[in-house]
Structure 1
Amino acid sequence: MAGHKQSIAYSTPIVTWIRQEIEAGHFVADQKLPSEAQLQERFGVSRSVVREALSQLKSEGLVHSQQGKGVFVNARGERRMFSLDMSGATLGDLTSLEHVIELLVAIEVAAAKHAAERHTAADLKKIRKALIGMEYAIACDQLGDEEDYAFHQAIVDATHNPHFITLNEYLEQHVRRLIRQARSHTAQYHQDLIEDVQAEHQAIIQAIEQRDPEAAAAAAERHLRNAAERLRTYIKA
C-alpha cells in the first residue's frame, strides 16, 4: 500500500498540470493528451505514476481513453457525470464493505460473461499473461496487486465495451483499494490462501477460454464472494 500511496503523491503534479491546461483552454474537447512516454519524460516519473495520474483524471470525468489511440479531453458537458464517495470506507466499515462487494459482483460477473462471449485470441493471451505475472510476483514474495489489477482489467477489455472499460478504470481509482488491502493481508498473514485465490483466477480463465458465459459469470462471482469472506476473516482477526 505504501507504493500505491507514493504513486498517488508523485502523480499529483501531472494531474494538476493537465487540469490547469484544460481549464485554461490549452487542451480542448477531443484533443489528444501527450502520450504516456511524453508525460514520463516531462515529469521524470515512472509509467505507473503517469497511469495513476490519468486514472485520476478519468475518474473526475475530465478525460477518456480510446483503446489503441490514447487519452482525450472530454467536452465540458461530459465531465463529472458519475462519482462515488469512498473517502471514508475502510476494511473495518462492514456496511461500506458489503456495498463495495455488491457493486463489484454486479460489474465483474457481467464482464466475465461478455468476455467469454466476445474475447479474441489476443484478449485471452493478455489475460493469461497477467495471471502468469501474478504468479511470478507471488513467487518473488511480492504483493502482485498491479498484476491482479491487470488480470481483471484484461477481462474487462475483452468485453470490447468502452463503458465497462471506463467504469472499471474509475473503480480502480476509488473502490479497489479495499480489495488491495485484502490482498496485502492475504500475502502477509494467510499464505495458505494464495493458492485458493490463484485457483479461482484459473477457473475464470478456463470458462472464458471455453466460451462458456454462464460458467465464467459463476466463477467470477465465486471469486468475489470468497474475497469478501476473506475480508471478513481479516476484520474479525
Structure 2
Amino acid sequence: MTVAQKTPKRAVATAEQPRQSVTAAIVDWLNRQIETEQLKPGDKLPSESALQAQFSVGRSAVREALSQLKSEGIVTAEQGRGVFVNAPAARQALRLPGASLDDSESLAHILELLATFESAAARYAALRRTPDDLKHIKRALVGMEYAVLNDELGEEEDFAFHQAIVEATKNPHFKALNDYLEQHARRLIRQARSNTAKNYAELIQDVQNEHQAIFAAIEAGNAEAASEAAETHLRNAAKRLNMYVQV
C-alpha cells in the first residue's frame, strides 16, 4: 500500500493553536513517520489537503511545515507529482536543534549565528548587487513601509527583503543557508513580534529604520556600512526579542 493510500492518523493539533505550534506538530509527525520507516525513501507524503484535514489547519501551516522539511533536504517536491521522502544520503547534515521562545540560551546562540550570516550577506550584496537586485530590495522595503502605515507587521515583505539581499550575494551557498535559517531562526523573531504587536507597535518603525539603513548602504556599494547596519539590526532584534518574550 502506498503512502498516499494510508489513512491519516488523528490530528495531534487543533485549529485553535498558534500556527507555529501546529506547524511544529506537522513537522514532528512527518519526521516520526520517516524515522520509523512508515514513510520510506521514495514514498510520497500525504497531500496538502490530507494534512490539512488531519491537523485541522489551513494550507499556510501545512506549506510552512513542508518548506521546513525541504530546507533540511528531508523531502523533495516534484511539480505536478507531490512531495517525496529523500534517501538519507541526500539529507542535509546541518540541522539546528529546535528552539522555542522560552529557551533563552538557545535563542541567544541562534541569534549570534543569524547576526554573523546577515552581516556577511549584506557585505557581499553591497559589492555584487545589480540594478535589478536593488529594485527587488527596494520593492520589499516599500512594501514594509505600507505595512507599517497600515498597522501591519509585513511578515511577507520582511522575508522578501532579506531574501533579496541574499540573492544579491550571487552565492548559491548563501541562498541555501538562508532558506534553512528562515525556517529555524527568523521565524522565532517574527513569532515573538506577532505575539506582542499591540504592546510594542512603536518598535515596528525601529525595525523599518534599520532596514532602510541596510538598503542605503547596499545601494551605495558600501560593504563595511552594509555589514555594520545588518549586525546592528540583529543586535537590536535580540534586545527586542527579550522584550517580546517577557510580556
1:205 maps to 2:215: yes
Alignment check: 8 A CA contact 1:124 1:209 kept: yes
Question: Aligned letter for 1:232?
Answer: N
User: Aligned partners of 1:118 and 1:227: how far apart in 2?
Assistant: 26
Partner in structure 2 of residue 35 of structure 1 = none
Higher helix proportion, which one? 1
CA RMSD of aligned residues (A): 3.7
1:142 to 128, 142, 152: 152
Partner in structure 1 of residue 188 of structure 2 = 178
Partner in structure 1 of residue 7 of structure 2 = none
User: Aligned partners of 1:161 and 1:46: how far apart in 2?
Assistant: 34
User: Aligned partners of 2:49 and 2:162: how far apart in 1?
Assistant: 29
2:107 to 97, 111, 121: 97
Using the TM superposition, name which of 162-171 and 2-11 deviates more: 2-11
Partner in structure 2 of residue 52 of structure 1 = 64
Partner in structure 2 of residue 81 of structure 1 = 93
Aligned pairs for 1:7-18 (under 5 A) are: none
Identity %: 54
Partner in structure 1 of residue 73 of structure 2 = 61
Unaligned runs of 5+ in 2: 1-16, 78-82
Q: How far is the alpha carbon of 1:135 from its aligned partner?
A: 2.0
Partner in structure 1 of residue 8 of structure 2 = none
Q: How does the TM-score come out when normalised to structure 1?
A: 0.74
Aligned pairs for 1:159-170 (under 5 A) are: 159-170=169-180
Partner in structure 1 of residue 199 of structure 2 = 189
The structure-2 alpha-carbon separation of the partners of 1:73 and 1:109, relative to structure 1 and needing over 3 Å to count, comes to farther
User: Aligned partners of 1:173 and 1:145: how far apart in 2?
Assistant: 13
Question: Aligned letter for 2:146?
Answer: Y
User: Aligned partners of 2:59 and 2:164: how far apart in 1?
Assistant: 18
Partner in structure 2 of residue 32 of structure 1 = none
User: Aligned partners of 2:204 and 2:92: how far apart in 1?
Assistant: 38
The structure-2 alpha-carbon separation of the partners of 1:137 and 1:236, relative to structure 1 and needing over 3 Å to count, comes to same
User: Aligned partners of 1:192 and 1:75: how far apart in 2?
Assistant: 47
Q: How far is the alpha carbon of 1:99 from its aligned partner?
A: 0.7
Q: How far is the alpha carbon of 1:72 from its aligned partner?
A: 11
Q: How far is the alpha carbon of 1:50 from its aligned partner?
A: 7.4
Unaligned runs of 5+ in 1: 28-38, 66-70
Deviation string 1:52-99 (CA, Å, 9 cap, x unpaired) is 25522323313579xxxxx99977523131101114x22x32212211
Secondary structure of 1:176's counterpart equals helix
Secondary structure of 1:143's counterpart equals coil
User: Aligned partners of 2:191 and 2:146: how far apart in 1?
Assistant: 20
Deviation string 1:163-192 (CA, Å, 9 cap, x unpaired) is 111111111212222211332256221222
Q: How far is the alpha carbon of 1:126 from its aligned partner?
A: 1.1
Q: How does the TM-score come out when normalised to structure 2?
A: 0.71
Alignment check: 8 A CA contact 1:11 1:49 kept: no
Which structure's CA Rg is the greater one? 2
User: Aligned partners of 1:50 and 1:124: how far apart in 2?
Assistant: 32
